[in-house]
Structure 1
Amino acid sequence: MGIAALRDRGFRWFFLARTITLITGSMSSIALAFAVLGIDNDAAALSIVLTAFTVANIVFLLLGGVVADRLPRAVVIQTSYVVDILSIGATAALLFTGTATVPALAALAAVNGASAAFVMPAMQGLIPQLTTPDHLQQANALLSFARSATTIAGPVVAGGIVALAGPAWVMVIQAAGWAAAIVFLAMVRLPPPIRGQRAGLFHDLHDGWREFWSRPWLWIVVLAFMVLNAIHVGAWGVAGPYIAKNDPLLGVAGWGWVVSAEGAGVLLMTLLLMWIPLRRPLRLGMLGMSALAIPLTLLGLHPAVPLLVIAALVAGAGVEVFSTGWNVTMMEQIPEEKLSRVSSYDMLGSYVAMPVGTLAFGWLIARVDLPALMVASAIVYAAIALGTMAVPSIWRMRRRADAVPEDVPVA
Structure 2
Amino acid sequence: MKREGFKGFTLLTIGQIVSLIGSAMTQFGLGIWIWKITGNAAPFSIITFAFFVPNMIFSTIAGALVDRLPRKISLILPDLSAGIVTIITLILFVSDKLTLPFLYIASFISGAFNAFQWPAYSVTISSMLSKEEYGRANGLFSLTSSAPALIAPLLAGFLYSVIGLKGIMLIDIITFIFAIVMVLLVEIPKLQIEEKHESILEDAIFGFKYIFEKRSLLYLLMVFLLTNFFGGFWSTLSTPMILGKFNGSSVILGIVEAIFGIGGILGGIIMSIWGGTKKKIKTLLLGIFVIALSQIFIGLSYSVITISVSGLLMGIANIFANASSQSIWQSIVPVNLQGRVFSARLFIAQFASLIPMLVSGPLVDNFLVRYFSNKNYLTMIFGVGKGPSIGFLAFLSGVLSIFVFIWAVKNPQVMNVEDLAQNYETKEVLI
TM-score norm. by structure 2 comes to 0.84
Render the CA deviation track for 1:332-380: whole Å, top value 9, x for unaligned: 1110001111111111111123232123221121221325444333322
Q: Distance in 2 between matches of 1:147 and 1:312?
A: 16
Note the 1:8-407 alignment, pairs <5 A. 8=6, 10-145=8-143, 147-193=145-191, 194-238=193-237, 240-248=238-246, 251-273=249-271, 274-275=273-274, 277-366=276-365, 367-368=367-368, 369=371, 370=389, 372-398=392-418
Q: Secondary structure at the match of 2:302?
A: coil
Sort the Cα spacing of 1:235 and 1:147 in 2 relative to 1 into closer, same or farther, 3 A. Answer: closer
* Per-residue deviation, residues 42-71 of structure 1 (Å, max 9, x unmatched): 110111111101111111110100000011
SS of 2:85's partner is helix
Structure 2 unmatched ranges of 5 or more: 372-388
Amino acid of the residue matched to residue 402 of structure 2? A
Point out where structure 1 has 5 or more consecutive residues left out of the alignment.
Answer: none
Displacement of 1:107 after TM fit? Answer: 0.2
The aligned amino acid for 1:66 is A
Distance 2:352 2:100 in 1: 25
Superposition RMSD on alpha carbons, in Å? 2.8
Q: Is the deviation greater in 305-314 or in 270-279?
A: 270-279
Q: Residue deviations 1:173-216, cap 9 Å, x none?
A: 22221122222212233344434112321332233223222222
Structure-1 separation of matches of 2:258 and 2:406: 26
Range with greater deviation from structure 2 (331-340 or 352-361): 352-361
CA distance in 2, matches of 1:20, 1:386: 39
Residues 261-270 or 70-79, more deviating: 261-270
Is contact 1:125-1:340 (8 Å) kept?
Answer: yes
Q: What is the CA–CA distance in structure 2 between the aligned matches of 1:158 and 1:52, rounded to whole Å?
A: 23
User: AA paired with 1:158?
Assistant: A
Deviation at 1:153, TM superposition (A): 1.5
CA contact (8 A) 1:215 1:409 kept: no
Q: How far apart are the structure 1 equivalents of 2:406 and 2:23?
A: 34
For structure 1, which segment, 83-92 or 30-39, has the greater mean C-alpha deviation from structure 2 after superposition? 30-39
Secondary structure of 1:303's counterpart equals coil
User: In 1, are the aligned partners of 2:212 and 2:218 still within 8 Å (CA)?
Assistant: yes
* Mean CA deviation greater in 119-128 or 162-171: 162-171
Give the stretch that moved more between structures: 357-366 or 159-168.
Answer: 159-168
Determine if contact 2:61/2:201 at 8 Å carries over to the other structure.
no
CA distance in 2, matches of 1:410, 1:287: 31
Identity of aligned residues (%): 20
Change (3 A) 1:250 1:298: farther
CA distance in 1, matches of 2:230, 2:206: 31
Report the count of equivalent residues. Answer: 403
**TM-score scaled by structure 1?**
0.88
The CA distance in 1 between the partners of 2:210 and 2:179, in whole Å, is: 32
Report the CA distance between 1:124 and its aligned residue.
1.0
Report if the CA contact (8 A) 1:223-1:350 is conserved.
Answer: no
1:228 is aligned with what amino acid? T
Contact 2:59 2:115 in 1 (8 A): yes
Q: CA offset at residue 156 of structure 1?
A: 0.8
